[in-house]
């Protein structure tokens, strides 16, 4: 690549310009900015190329480990980015991309995030975030009130209190879950008159002092993998994350929860936290939160609700009741970068008790002094962006009823899609939508009837063959680049708990129409025909089941 003379110069004068004057009005960057503000969807449609480039080829564009020795003009570099990076990005906001929790974004977040970046506030301490700190505390107050519905006096008293905290902003649900369980752990192994607390003494001494052989966190088998990370970093160990059985609706089985708690206690292990899931990542189901709360109350253990994805449902008058019992939780995780339509990097954890986070309070001399309002004294992360501003703005611009409508349309569209699947003779609905998430698979015509007649062993053989087909369809559909559903593996009771590969669909994008959903099913049927061998294999197995002949 040839650089012109000017771009090859490194001068302090030109470096100063980077911090002050931008390039002229006809630069590539200015053009791109104009396109982005004029029509976000069109920008993405035009600049992301549809056809799939193999990852290994994309990697070739990003293979040079040397830091460039020569500077580049901003416009020149932007061209490079458009061709290498933007062109092969994933069009996550396409209305036919219904496989992810990563959502489309409202247009106003583009210019507003520029304000956020321009101000570059650091929320770790008030010195670098005056105005942003109270804003963030207010946003946490809004979410707290949405969940716990305390009286106005409560928020006047605690929202801006230096020594209290209604919760924390963080980069996502993972850190939010870790924070909740960190608080729960420290409150369980807290300081006494002759023990300095786990935060000082460490886990070994803390367990010895309290006479526990270990600690356990309990969650249903549909719990998110971030809880494994939490168990690991908190010194509990992944073995300390105890998995509880789920029923046919993917909800935690309360009897099993009680039994596991009893077993742990008998072994001298302290079950210090139970996690209820409000919107499981794979199936979108909600645990019986009220029942879990009763058990936690009785066992004196921390009740955390992982509502990273489903928590936004509280904004809907029509469906908020689905999460009833969440107000009994000691802590709740909600991701703003899922159903609150905020860009990536916005998670939150809320605590019912404004004193709860004292268990993880940290102080330092130059910042986070005692009595300061520095948010960093209660967060796992240090330096943090002012992304709370984007949620603050969205709450004002969209408003609560507006968010409610977005939630309602998603749930109702999922119900429509479920009906569409059930009316089709060649699709099987695997998990019904409780929120806007459902799973299903393609089962060729007449095979469903055979499935119901099959013995357990025959069913396994047929299921394995169907799994191959589901994987093929999902992969091929993704590679065509026009539409996308994701895939996961479940163990439905209906199919003897056999591993069953399914399509997973999340319907949060308001631009996803019913026609798009119909087209997605049609496309999947057509892709199935591109795999005659897989289809023939399924027919052959079905034939031998129907005719009770041994499998050839
Ligand atoms: C997405 C999700 C998480 C993890 O959140 P990140 O923002 O990806 O870290 C945790 N729990 C549930 C239920 C989720 O859906």
Q: 121-384 belongs to which CATH class?
A: alpha beta
How many whole angstroms from 175 Cα to the centroid of ligand 1? 9
* pTM for this model (two decimals): 0.94
How many whole angstroms from 339 Cα to the centroid of ligand 1? 11
Closest CA to 447 of 505, 528, 516: 528
Same fold, 121-384 and 402-546: no
CATH of domain 402-546: 3.90.1150.10
Whether ligand 1 lies within 6 angstroms of the CB of 222 is answered as: no
Lowest mean pLDDT among 25-29, 244-248, 267-271, 428-432: 25-29
Whether ligand 1 lies within 6 angstroms of the CB of 287 is answered as: no
Alpha carbon nearest to ligand 1 atom 4, residue? 173
More confident residue, 258 or 478: 258
pLDDT value of residue 14: 82
Residues in the chain: 552
Within 8 A by CB and 6+ apart from 414, the residues are: 433, 435, 436, 437, 438, 505, 507
pLDDT tens digit sequence for 72-102: 888 899 999 999 999 999 889 999 999 999 9
CA atoms of 193 and 502, how far apart (whole Å): 55
How many whole angstroms from 101 Cα to the centroid of ligand 1? 9
Alpha carbon nearest to ligand 1 atom 6, residue? 173
Within 8 A by CB and 6+ apart from 146, the residues are: 314, 315
More confident residue, 339 or 552: 339
Within 8 A by CB and 6+ apart from 323, the residues are: 278, 286, 289, 307, 310, 311, 313, 314
Query: For residues 218 and 287, is the Cβ–Cβ distance under 8 A?
Result: no
Segments making up each domain of the chain, as ranges: 12-91, 121-384, 402-546
CA atoms of 168 and 145, how far apart (whole Å): 14
The phi and psi torsions of 227 (rounded to 5 degrees) equal: -70, -30
Pairing label, strands 486-490, 437-442: unpaired
pLDDT tens digit sequence for 148-171: 999 999 999 999 998 899 999 999
Query: For residues 388 and 345, is the Cβ–Cβ distance under 8 A?
Result: no
How many whole angstroms from 283 Cα to the centroid of ligand 1? 13
Mean pLDDT over 506-525 rounds to 97
Whether ligand 1 lies within 6 angstroms of the CB of 281 is answered as: yes
CA atoms of 405 and 98, how far apart (whole Å): 19
How many whole angstroms from 312 Cα to the centroid of ligand 1? 13
CA atoms of 146 and 140, how far apart (whole Å): 10
Query: For residues 173 and 224, is the Cβ–Cβ distance under 8 A?
Result: yes
Whether ligand 1 lies within 6 angstroms of the CB of 309 is answered as: yes
Query: For residues 207 and 219, is the Cβ–Cβ distance under 8 A?
Result: no
Within 8 A by CB and 6+ apart from 1, the residues are: none
How many whole angstroms from 468 Cα to the centroid of ligand 1? 28
CA atoms of 100 and 507, how far apart (whole Å): 9
pLDDT over threshold 70, residue 105: yes
CA distances from 199 to 142, 182, 234, 367, 507 (A): 30, 10, 11, 20, 42
Pairing label, strands 269-277, 214-220: parallel
CA atoms of 22 and 77, how far apart (whole Å): 14
Three-state DSSP state, 392: helix
Helices (H), 193-351: 198-210, 226-233, 254-266, 289-299
Query: For residues 335 and 162, is the Cβ–Cβ distance under 8 A?
Result: no
Whether ligand 1 lies within 6 angstroms of the CB of 96 is answered as: no
Q: Which DSSP string do the residues of 334-358 spell out, in sequence order?
A: EETTSTT---SS-EEEEESSTTGGG
Q: What is the DSSP letter of 102?
A: P
pLDDT over threshold 90, residue 36: no
Whether ligand 1 lies within 6 angstroms of the CB of 283 is answered as: no
Alpha carbon nearest to ligand 1 atom 14, residue? 308
Neighbours of 233 (CB within 10 A): 12
Report residue 253 as tokens. Answer: 């089985």
pLDDT value of residue 446: 87
CA atoms of 534 and 540, how far apart (whole Å): 10
How many whole angstroms from 216 Cα to the centroid of ligand 1? 20
CA atoms of 214 and 268, how far apart (whole Å): 7
How many whole angstroms from 30 Cα to the centroid of ligand 1? 36
Alpha carbon nearest to ligand 1 atom 3, residue? 173
pLDDT value of residue 365: 65
| For the chain, percent of residues with pLDDT exceeding 70 | 96
CA atoms of 332 and 352, how far apart (whole Å): 8
Ligand 1 atom closest to Cα of 281? 15
- What's the distance, Cα to Cα, between the start and end of the chain in Å? 61
Lowest mean pLDDT among 3-7, 176-180, 389-393: 3-7
CA atoms of 425 and 114, how far apart (whole Å): 50
pLDDT tens digit sequence for 395-440: 999 999 999 999 999 999 999 999 999 999 999 999 999 999 999 9
Domain 12-91 has CATH 1.20.1650: yes
pLDDT over threshold 80, residue 389: yes
How many whole angstroms from 309 Cα to the centroid of ligand 1? 7
Q: Mean pLDDT score of the chain, rounded to an integer?
A: 93
Whether ligand 1 lies within 6 angstroms of the CB of 481 is answered as: no
Whether ligand 1 lies within 6 angstroms of the CB of 173 is answered as: yes
CA atoms of 493 and 58, how far apart (whole Å): 42
pLDDT value of residue 366: 65
Reported confidence tier of residue 309, pLDDT bands at 50, 70, 90? very high
Q: Which residue in this structure is represented by tokens 């304000």?
A: 115
């Amino acid at each position: 690549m040839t650089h012109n003379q000017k771009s090859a110069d490194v001068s302090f004068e030109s470096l100063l310009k980077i911090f002050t004057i931008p390039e002229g009005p006809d630069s590539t960057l200015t053009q791109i900015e104009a396109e982005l503000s004029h029509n976000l969807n069109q920008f993405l449609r035009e600049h992301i190329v549809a056809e799939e480039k193999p990852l290994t080829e994309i990697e070739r564009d990003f293979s040079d480990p040397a830091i460039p020795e020569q500077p580049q003009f901003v416009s020149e570099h932007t061209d490079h980015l458009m061709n290498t990076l933007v062109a092969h990005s994933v069009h996550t906001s396409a209305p036919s991309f219904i496989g992810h929790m990563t959502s489309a974004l409202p247009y106003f977040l583009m210019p507003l995030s520029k304000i956020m970046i321009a101000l570059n506030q650091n929320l770790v301490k008030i010195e670098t975030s005056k105005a942003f700190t109270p804003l963030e505390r207010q946003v946490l107050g809004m979410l707290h009130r949405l969940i716990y519905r305390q009286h106005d006096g409560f928020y006047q008293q605690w929202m801006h209190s230096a020594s209290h905290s209604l919760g924390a902003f963080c980069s996502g649900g993972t850190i939010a879950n870790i924070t909740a369980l960190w608080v729960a752990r420290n409150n369980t192994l807290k300081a006494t008159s002759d023990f300095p607390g786990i935060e000082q003494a460490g886990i070994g001494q803390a367990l010895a002092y309290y006479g526990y052989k270990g600690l356990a966190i309990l969650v249903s088998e549909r719990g998110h993998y971030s809880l494994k990370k939490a168990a690991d970093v908190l010194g509990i160990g992944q073995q300390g994350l105890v998995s509880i059985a789920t029923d046919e609706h993917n909800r935690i089985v309360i009897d099993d929860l009680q039994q596991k708690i009893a077993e742990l206690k008998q072994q001298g292990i302290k079950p210090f936290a139970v996690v209820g899931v409000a919107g499981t990542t794979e199936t979108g189901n909600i645990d019986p939160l009220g029942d879990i709360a009763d058990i936690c109350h009785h066992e004196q253990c921390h009740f955390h609700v992982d509502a990273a994805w489903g928590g936004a449902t509280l904004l809907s008058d029509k469906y908020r009741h689905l999460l009833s019992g969440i107000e009994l939780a000691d802590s709740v995780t909600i991701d703003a970068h899922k159903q609150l339509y905020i860009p990536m990097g916005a998670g939150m954890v809320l605590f019912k008790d404004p004193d709860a986070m004292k268990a993880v309070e940290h102080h330092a001399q130059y910042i986070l002094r005692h009595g300061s309002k520095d948010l960093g004294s209660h967060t796992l992360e240090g330096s943090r962006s002012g992304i709370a501003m984007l949620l603050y703005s969205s709450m004002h611009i969209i408003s609560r009823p507006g968010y409610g409508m977005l939630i309602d349309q998603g749930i109702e569209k999922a119900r429509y899609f479920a009906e569409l699947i059930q009316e089709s003779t060649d699709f099987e609905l695997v998990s019904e939508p409780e929120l806007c998430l459902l799973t299903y698979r393609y089962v060729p015509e007449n095979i469903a009837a055979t499935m119901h007649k099959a013995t357990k062993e025959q069913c396994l053989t047929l299921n394995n063959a169907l799994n191959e087909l589901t994987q093929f369809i999902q992969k091929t559909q993704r590679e065509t680049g026009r539409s996308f559903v994701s895939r996961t593996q479940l163990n439905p009771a209906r199919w003897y708990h056999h591993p069953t590969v399914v399509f997973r669909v999340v319907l949060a994008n308001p631009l996803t129409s019913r026609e798009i959903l119909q087209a997605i099913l049609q496309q999947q049927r057509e892709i199935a025909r591109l795999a005659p061998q897989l289809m023939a294999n399924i027919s052959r197995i079905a034939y031998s089941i129907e005719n009770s002949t041994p499998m050839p």
